[in-house]
Structure 1
Amino acid sequence: VNRFCLVSHLAKSFRGKLSSTFPSLSPVFSLSILSIPSLLKAIFSVDPNEVRSLIFKKEDVNVQDSEKRTPLHAAAYLGDADIIELLILSGARVNAKDNKWLTPLHRAVASCSEDAVCMLIKHSADVNARDKNWQTPLHVAANNKAIRVAEALVPLLSNVNVSDRGGRTALHHAAFSGHLEVTHTHSQRGIRMSKRHMEVVRLLVSSGAEMDCKDKNSYTPLHAAASSGMTTTVQYLLGLGVQINQGNIYGNSALHMASYNGQDVVVNELIEAGASINQVNERGLSALHFSACSRQGALCLELLLGNGANVNIRSKDGKTPLHMAAVHGRFSRSQAVIQNGAEVDCEDKNGNSPLHIAARYGHQLLINTLLTHGANTAKRGVHGMFPLHLAALSGFSDCCRKLLSSDFHIDTPDHFGRTCLHAAAAGGNLECLNLLLNTGADFNRKDRFGRTPLHYACCNSKSQCVFALVGSGAGVNELDERGCSPLHYAAAGTEGKCVEYLLRSDANPGIRDRQGYNPVHYASAYGHTLCLELISRETPLDVLMETSGTDILSDSDNHALISPLHLAAYHGHCGVLEVLAAGLLEVDIRTPEGRTPLSLACSRGHQECVSLLLHHGAHTHTKDYTLKRTALHVAAMNGHSDCLRLLINNTDTHNSVDVQDANGQTPLMLAVLSGHTESVYSLLSRGADVEAKDHWGRTALHRGAVSGHEECVEALLQRGASVCVCDRAGRSPLHLAAACGHTGVLGALLQAANALHTHTLLIDNHGYTPLHWACYNGYDGCVELLLEQEVFKKTQGNHFSPLHCAVMNDNEGVAEMLINSLGSAIVNTTDTKGRSPLHAAAFSDHVECVSLLLSHGAQANTSDTHTRTTPLMMAAHNGQTNAVEVLVSSAKADLTLQDTNKNTALHLACSKGHETSALLILEKISDRNFINCTNTSLQTPLHVAARNGLTVVVQELLGKGASVLAVDENGYTPALSCAPNRDVADCLALILNSMLPASPLVSITTLPASPRVTMATLQSVNHYSNHQSKGVAFESPPPLRTDHTSYCRQDRLLCVSPDDDNEFNDSDSETY
């Protein structure tokens, strides 16, 4: 219903929207300026002589008032051309703008002063000047009926279609204001029209205006005419053949607009012209919906019904026109739609009938009409509620009385087991409640949650209903499924009268719910001091809590895990806390995690609660059970400096501020880590130890270096914190600041260090310096700071140099900075395994870094000392295609170099299945001997490529002359290398041998000279190649493995019978 009302409001306020989007310049010029400059007084007195006198006395002609308006603005407002000319000739700025960006020309146009406008134009006033609404003087002229002014402005404009901030042209303003002559002026320039008035429409149409044009909200002239009731205009537009059913941005047609605004004559015209009566907008609402709910839509509704409008049409939320009439209480219209066949008990998407809606909004007459026409009072709506539920919930007693007289069973529940009495109690209307009670409603009936009407009345703080229900005999100690009594809900509410009356009626304040909470907990959690005081007067709090100064968790599962003190402290209810602290002996009571009320109050920053707890003897050094943190830790880490000062001032010992948690962290460390400067200063002022270490050997300064809070670091350094102290990993604050990229902190640490005299302080346990860390993470600013220190320009620490670190992570800028600062010689430095920075860059495939190193003289063919791997080998082995391409193309890397296993870069690329890298290397190889070079396992690149299924690489190798009969240390040819294991390879060899007329154990030169066999042999050799055999002689392959010789009888293999020959000829060539 609310969504419909919003859409309807948009339709209803069509004219109002246009007014708001066409802000006109008010002709009022505030007279408060008369009390400011004397020149303005003279202008408003229309005294040219006085103005001349003041100008002669050097009065500032450009003086501004509080709204930045000048004397020229005032003269233009008055329309005094003589004074305007006098001011301009005396140096007044003709295009000066006030705080709304209005120029004097805007003011003159608003005053409809043709003489003033002409004078300003004569002196070069900007006719295209815009105010803050982007309106030009022409917009203002159109708004203020300044016809002659408009005629003066139009010839000077380059474009009369300039729009304001709302997208409206001057013609929009003129059309909306209905100024015939102004519109005529514009129509001669072909401007299109989008709004009202018959005379204007005719003029524009005669000039070729488009009649179906739309504004930003897709309103057409027909929409505008229909909404305002311009019948003649509507007739004229319809006669021109405009689109009658065109919808606006909300889907509303002209019929929707006319129906909602009660324009019955227009509705009739539209219907006669063929408008779609049942057309719906984006919400599924038809014109009948609009006319059913609008204030003036009665006649429109009759016209629509008389012309066959669908009375049961449903919107997207399931509402019919009868629902809409019920929402707004349109009694006569509801009768009309019912008489025309509307379904009385139709449901919307929530299941509500029109009777539900009428009951919800209290429309008694409409209820009478619906009941008269047979509406079902026992029909269920939303959540299974009946119309009586909704009437009682909304507090309409007359509607309840009407619905009760319809033989409805009063205790019938909804889907949640709630009766009408539950609804009345929640709604809080005493008259409805008494009506239902007098009718015999059961006041002790429970819903599905075990709640009686008294529970609902207490929960909603309906004191009058509470009095009535208790007075009728409702049980005050009845419990719902959660174990809550009405007193629990009353204590959580805002009305103390409910609590007081329940206690007087013998409500038990000691009852606990299933979580162990009693009404004291509820009052504490919601901060209702009055309710808590009323309960404490009835029964002492220590008796209710069963504490006697001990832990409330000691003896029973029925006790709450959290005390009322914790709830009040956490939520900052100081008044409640004071009542509790005065009534309970123990203020250091703990949660299962060991948290005290003081700790919770400090975590939330409730200063008054902290002060109150300390006043009642709360201990500041009580630690929780998990992290062993005190209230000092909690206040410091959360930055609640006021709470922290209260705690510090209430500590007895000097070392209390250095108390450590389970990880050895002090409050100072936690405050620095979170960047709470004020808390840091408070702790330092009480002597907090800046050199204290946690279990990892880190100080507060280490944490400041990591978090990057410069003010905290400065505070620590002022107190003498050491920048060279190292943690268990050997890292100083300098290391951490450099690693995290906190340039400001690093600068402060370096300045405090003054000079680094020992190398051990700059190297961590892995040999890395702060420069290593800054380079690895790519922090240019930190690297620049460190390189300004002489100590970092020396080679020290881990041999995996800062340049290695930089190129490893693709930090090209840092790498270039290192080379420029330390010299090009560093590009060939090696680590302990002999790997250069080029190795690192190739390993990570950072092409820019590779190119940078090569441009500064990096050696592309250097090998490491561990496996004799070159940068190219490393790139090929890891499939770093870009690095491979740069090294083989730009650096001309030596492709013949071999590692300790005699693998070339081509071997390594093929071994890991890096096809693209292998092909890049093959492009640079033409030597057939290199193609067939072997590693320590006697494997050629063809063996390796075939084993890994690199089809394209194999084809390229064969094309470059790779031997297909080369054998490795196991006696396998490249073809047999494709087998997944050695057993399969041997089986494959046996099969191939049985298909050939000669044994592979015999030299190829001893094969029979049969042309047929020779051809087959050549085909087998060239199965993956498109060229003829190169005719290269190879060594005879060695025998098969000894453990399989029994399967390889030479006498059988050497015997070639005619049957064998036929079998060979019949074999499948593809399988072969």
Structure 2
Amino acid sequence: MAVLKLTDQPPLVQAIFSGDPEEIRMLIHKTEDVNTLDSEKRTPLHVAAFLGDAEIIELLILSGARVNAKDNMWLTPLHRAVASRSEEAVQVLIKHSADVNARDKNWQTPLHVAAANKAVKCAEVIIPLLSSVNVSDRGGRTALHHAALNGHVEMVNLLLAKGANINAFDKKDRRALHWAAYMGHLDVVALLINHGAEVTCKDKKGYTPLHAAASNGQINVVKHLLNLGVEIDEINVYGNTALHIACYNGQDAVVNELIDYGANVNQPNNNGFTPLHFAAASTHGALCLELLVNNGADVNIQSKDGKSPLHMTAVHGRFTRSQTLIQNGGEIDCVDKDGNTPLHVAARYGHELLINTLITSGADTAKCGIHSMFPLHLAALNAHSDCCRKLLSSGQKYSIVSLFSNEHVLSAGFEIDTPDKFGRTCLHAAAAGGNVECIKLLQSSGADFHKKDKCGRTPLHYAAANCHFHCIETLVTTGANVNETDDWGRTALHYAAASDMDRNKTILGNAHENSEELERARELKEKEATLCLEFLLQNDANPSIRDKEGYNSIHYAAAYGHRQCLELLLERTNSGFEESDSGATKSPLHLAAYNGHHQALEVLLQSLVDLDIRDEKGRTALDLAAFKGHTECVEALINQGASIFVKDNVTKRTPLHASVINGHTLCLRLLLEIADNPEVVDVKDAKGQTPLMLAVTYGHIDAVSLLLEKDANIDTVDILGCTALHRGIMTGHEECVQMLLEQEVSILCKDSRGRTPLHYAAARGHATWLSELLQMALSEEDCCFKDNQGYTPLHWACYNGNENCIEVLLEQKCFRKFIGNPFTPLHCAIINDHGNCASLLLGAIDSSIVSCRDDKGRTPLHAAAFADHVECLQLLLRHNAQVNTVDNSGKTALMMAAENGQAGAVDILVNSAQADLTVKDKDLNTPLHLACSKGHEKCALLILDKIQDESLINAKNNALQTPLHVAARNGLKVVVEELLAKGACVLAVDENASRSNGPRSTPGTAIQKEE
């Protein structure tokens, strides 16, 4: 909120501040605007209310001032009067209908403001006019919260007397007691507790009032709560007790009090950290640590990740506290889960004094930590030269050890070139860290710069990869081989050309929020990379060396977009970079274009003859740039004459197709504008797809609009016969479809399977589109709605259960009779259990359709029985479906259900529909034969339960087999028993007996075999 100069304000405002009613009347008489606004939308009435001048407030209101005017913070004059604690002003405003429920931008009412500002008299005037004193602001805080926060005892008393909810909580579930405890308002705390406030209440993160008081060092409140007997070791959601919180915030007086009251000094939180861990790390936790140690805290207790309190001092460099811990038995070389000792941690964070303390106390400098690194590795990697010096000189008094060894052994007890898990020595780490002093220290101690890690990289590779010029200079000067290759065939020059700028950008982005600073930092890094590259080239680095994939340093510089590096490399090498026999699958041009490095691309274009050079898949640089949407690269390439007609070897796409796939409309526009041939807009790929088809398929509406603007053919078909409209409806991109429909697209065009856009709309459930397409289609003379198999849109809508589409189609007379494939829409609905769709058909046409047959003579009832769709079966039976109708093979619905083991359908057909059990198919099989033939025991038993006729029990099929033959052969023991109980003949002979020369085959023999 700005502070304005009074002399710059209107005369009326100045008069109000002067408190002169007569002058105000005179100004108003001169038509001075009583509702004039300042830069923050405050009116003169706001000023008068702020000053608490009741007489002037009255005068302004009677002169037309708006009593409920709001400034840019939505504060009304009543808010201002209350904040100034002027009872008279409040009464005048309320008399003139000031809104006592008005809210500012923080949703605070005048009562909130009164509570925060100890305006008790004002609150007494306002409260009787309110329906509730428990209204909350944007943060969920009531007036009681504000009064408690500010320690206004009288206001708290008033609010409680007027019905304030003492346990009301804000959006973080904090009560008024939390706020009073945090601020140390002991009188308010006592008052709230005396009125029934819940002393053990917790907020959303589990903090109690004791936590709150402890965190802010409110010792008197802490004592009061402890005297009330609250649980001293109560934890929050993180497992922290009040002692944890006090230690974290360095509240030593509270820590002392909590310990005296018996707090557990070794209580671990959810991560295993004790109060001692927090005291060890905290900025102001030194005295807390002393108190804990003196009161029995375990100095060697470890967290879940293995960190001891000594580790925590190492993280933050608390060397005095580390001494205290060590003197009280702290284990110097204890390791965390990564294997790091406190010395590793101190080395990583560069705390030289703490390193000195640890070494003096006997810390093992040769202890292996994370990835088997020494502390020296970590100090060098993080560029802490003072720490490296300390670690290297830690064992000078034992230097006699080196006299008995041919190798250079540090007096601290380890060989300086000992590798870590990945084969990296301390010199590798120093080269990566970038502090040349670390490298010099290691070299003076005998470090071997020829050592390679497990990937074959030397320290020079690491220095080059991170653009550390001085490190490169030092290593090369001392004899490092600039053309040494790693296991991938890369030299230091490859790494310098790439220079790991992605990592550097991340680091810089974290450090610099200002975009200009970020750009300057990037330019500096680019210059440093160029400097490294130039130095390597001056020292005979070979830019023509290719790695195992055929890439040289030019490829790497192009891939990472280092323009200056590219210029330098192109100047120093005579060999081109377009050779097809290089082994590289992509040229530098491809790499720069794909990654969007337009400046690097422009450098390469100056040296290129063939702009349409292809990669292993036949793609040009223009194709890749268009695919990735790098507009500047696309523009640079087409300005230099790159062809937009080149197709790749795999998909046969052009750059136009590539730009459309990901919706890069700007690239598409550039490509279309450069095209001489207008037909390029309809160029096809290997699948016959045009750019328009792809734009519609992927839902890129801007690209669709541009292509239509360039007269793309909307009715072109791909190799499947699909148009852009087919594709749009298939993928459901509404805006694209609508745009095509506005272009008079062909509605009844058919794909290779004879399906029109109407078929797709019905199948996909797009009822709105279907309705629009249908109206357009019916206006045409020759409208055929059948695909190559005779299926109509109604078939597809029913098959997929799209009720809205069915309703749209049935509105048209031509769809209220079944045409096309005899497997009718009703069959389609029933076979997929779409009962509602079937009901729509039956209601719109009539019940006679339940008798329709497909080309195999099957009715919808057969379909329901086949799929065991019980509800559909019952629906058809309610519409008088003939239960005993047979198909071309002589099977009824019951026989189909029995043969397929659909017990639910069999149950309904046998018990409810009274299906005829004597019907036989063309092979003279009864339903019982069919159930037994497939081993469907439950179906067979349901049928058997209704058979009383012994002749049906012993009925024979064409193979002279009775149900007993079939059941016995299939091992249906229960069915066999039931058949025998109902009089099945065990001596019946099937046809196999008449053809065999051996014993006659009877059911009895089959049963014996089974047993």
The TM-score, its normalising length taken from structure 1, stands at 0.80
Amino acid at match of 1:425: A
Cα distance change of structure 1 residues 57 and 129 upon mapping to structure 2, 3 Å threshold: same
1:790 to 802, 808, 813: 813
Q: 1:163: Cα distance to partner?
A: 1.8
Deviations, residues 211-248 of structure 1 (Å, cap 9, x unaligned): xx655444556656666666677677777766555544
The yes-or-no answer on 1:874 pairing with 2:880 is no
Q: Which of 905, 909, 917 is the aligned partner of 1:883?
A: 905
Alignment match of 2:567 (pick from 528, 533, 536): 533
Contact 1:34 1:40 in 2 (8 A): no
Aligned runs of 1:1007-1022 on 2, under 5 Å? none
Task: Tell me, in whole angstroms, the C-alpha distance in 2 between the residues paired with 1:803 and 1:602.
Answer: 49
Q: Give 2:770's match in structure 1, choosing from 740, 743, 746.
A: 746
Alignment partners' CA distance in 1, 2:924 and 2:83: 97
CA–CA distance in structure 2, aligned partners of residues 611 and 596 of structure 1: 14
Look up the match of 2:957: 935
Identify the range of structure 1 (285-294 vs 499-508) with the bigger mean alpha-carbon deviation: 285-294
CA distance in 2, matches of 1:303, 1:683: 77
Cα 1:983/1:606, change in 2 over 3 Å: farther
Structure 1 counterpart of 2:55: 49
How far did residue 462 of structure 1 move?
Answer: 1.3
Residue 522 of structure 1: CA displacement?
0.7
Q: Which region of structure 1 is more displaced relative to structure 2, 843-852 or 405-414?
A: 405-414
Please state if 1:611 is matched with 2:635: yes
Q: 1:102-181 counterparts in 2 under 5 A?
A: 102-157=108-163, 159-181=165-187
Amino acid at match of 2:751: D
Say whether residues 1:766 and 2:789 are aligned partners.
yes
1:475-510 Cα distance to aligned partner (Å, 9 max, x none): 222222211111111111242211122222222211
Q: Percent identity?
A: 54
Cα shift at 1:277: 4.6
The answer on whether the counterparts of 1:708 and 1:745 sit within 8 Å (CA) in structure 2 is no
Distance 1:361 1:37, change over 3 A: same
Superposition deviation, residue 165 in structure 1: 1.8
**Mapping for residues 108-257 of structure 1, pairs under 5 Å:** 108-157=114-163, 159-194=165-200, 216-219=204-207, 243=231, 245-257=233-245
Shift of residue 533, structure 1, vs aligned partner: 1.1
Q: Which amino acid aligns with 2:935?
A: G
Query: Would you say 1:921 and 2:955 are equivalent positions?
Result: no
In 1, the alpha carbon distance for the partners of 2:998 and 2:565 equals: 89
* Correspondence list, 1:2-17, <5 A: none
Q: Does 1:479 align with 2:513?
A: no
Structure 1 counterpart of 2:548: 514
Q: Is the 8 A contact 1:34 1:41 kept in 2?
A: no
Q: 2:531 aligns with which of 489, 497, 501?
A: 497
Q: Which moved more, 1:66-75 or 1:451-460?
A: 66-75
Residue 443 (1) aligns with residue 465 (2): no
Deviation at 1:869, TM superposition (A): 1.5
Partner of 1:421: 427
Letter in 2 for 1:766: Q
Deviation readout 1:779-828 (Å, 9 max, x if unpaired): 22222222233333343211111111111111222222222222222221
SS of the counterpart of 1:872? helix
Determine which of 469, 488, 495 is the counterpart of 2:494. 488
For residue 127 of structure 1, report the CA deviation from its aligned partner.
0.9
- What corresponds to 2:407 in structure 1? none
Instruction: Please list every run of 5 or more consecutive structure 2 residues that lacks an aligned counterpart in the other structure.
Output: 1-36, 400-409, 500-525
Question: Match for 2:668: what amino acid?
Answer: L
- Mapped to 1, the partners of 2:1007 and 2:337 lie a distance apart of 78
1:579 and 2:603 are equivalent in the alignment: yes
- Asked if 1:380 corresponds to 2:386, the answer is no
Match of residue 883 from structure 2: 860
| Distance in 2 of aligned mates of 1:696 and 1:233 | 80
Q: Which residue of 2 aligns with 1:998?
A: none
Structure 2 CA distance for aligned equivalents of residues 718 and 277 of structure 1:
77
Equivalent pair of 2:181/2:218 in contact (CA under 8 Å):
no
**Further displaced range: 684-693 or 982-991:** 982-991
Q: Which amino acid aligns with 1:582?
A: Q
User: Number of aligned pairs?
Assistant: 928
Contact 1:587 1:617 in 2 (8 A): yes
Aligned AA for 1:789? Q
2:714 equivalent to 1:693: no
The match for 2:23 is: none
CA contact (8 A) 1:710 1:744 kept: no
Distance 1:578 1:628 in 2: 27
User: In structure 2, how many angstroms separate the alpha carbons of the residues matched to 1:230 and 1:654?
Assistant: 80
The 5-angstrom pairing of residues 570-649 of structure 1 reads 570-649=594-673
Moved more, 145-154 or 719-728: 719-728
Q: What is the aligned partner in structure 1 of residue 15 from structure 2?
A: none
The Cα offsets for residues 613-640 of structure 1, whole Å up to 9 and x where unpaired, read as 1122211111111222222222233332
Contact 1:95 1:126 in 2 (8 A): no
| 1:831 correspondence with 2:863 | no
* C-alpha displacement of 1:520: 0.8
C-alpha separation in 2, matches of 1:479 and 1:394: 26
Letter in 1 for 2:132: D
- Find the aligned partners of 1:431 and 1:364 in 2 and give their Cα distance: 15
Summarize the Cα distance change of 1:251–1:663 in structure 2 as closer, same or farther, 3 Å threshold.
Answer: closer
Change in CA separation of 1:912 and 1:763 when aligned onto 2, cut-off 3 Å: same
For 1:963-978, what aligned pairs fall within 5 Å after superposition?
963-965=984-986, 967-970=988-991
Choose from 270, 274, 277 the match for 1:286.
Answer: 274
Deviations 1:936-964 (A, max 9, x none): 444444443343333444444455x2325
Partner letter of residue 539 of structure 2? S
Matched, 1:69 2:93: no
Residue type of the partner of 1:853?
L
Cα separation, 2, equivalents of 1:265 and 1:77? 36
Answer yes or no: is the 8 Å Cα contact 2:42–2:70 preserved in 1: no
Shift of 1:844: 1.6
Greater Cα offset, 936-945 or 117-126: 936-945
Q: Deviation of residue 435 (structure 1)? A: 3.0
Structure ID, larger Rg: 1
Q: Distance in 2 between matches of 1:851 and 1:182?
A: 73
Structure 1 residues 893 and 88: CA distance shift in structure 2, 3 A: farther
Q: Establish whether residue 911 from structure 1 lines up as the match of residue 917 from structure 2.
A: no
Separation of aligned partners in 2, 1:653 and 1:374: 82
CA gap of 1:912–1:491, structure 2 versus 1, over 3 A, is: same
Distance 2:156 2:278 in 1: 40
Instruction: Check the 8 A contact 2:648/2:654 in 1, yes or no.
Output: yes
Residues 1:477 and 1:983: Cα distance change in structure 2 (over 3 Å): farther
What SS does the aligned partner of 2:606 have?
A: helix
Q: Which amino acid aligns with 1:512?
A: R
| SS of aligned partner of 1:583 | coil
Counterpart of 1:321 in structure 2: which amino acid?
A: P
Letter in 1 for 2:119: S
CA distance in 2, matches of 1:669, 1:613: 25
Unaligned runs of 5+ in 1: 1-30, 195-212, 973-980, 994-1069
Q: CA deviation at 1:442?
A: 3.1
Contact 2:186-2:220 at 8 Å conserved across structures: no
C-alpha distance in 2 between matches for 1:666 and 1:225: 70
- Aligned pairs for 1:563-574 within 5 A: 563-574=587-598
Question: Does the 8 Å contact 1:94/1:125 carry over to 2?
Answer: no
- 422-431 vs 241-250, which deviates more? 241-250
- Residue 205 (structure 1) aligns with: none
Aligned residues of 1:227 and 1:257 also touching (Cα < 8 A): yes
Q: Aligned partners of 2:999, 2:250: CA distance in 1, in Å?
A: 93
Say whether residues 1:850 and 2:873 are aligned partners.
Answer: yes
Q: Does the 8 Å CA contact 1:510/1:544 hold for their aligned counterparts?
A: no
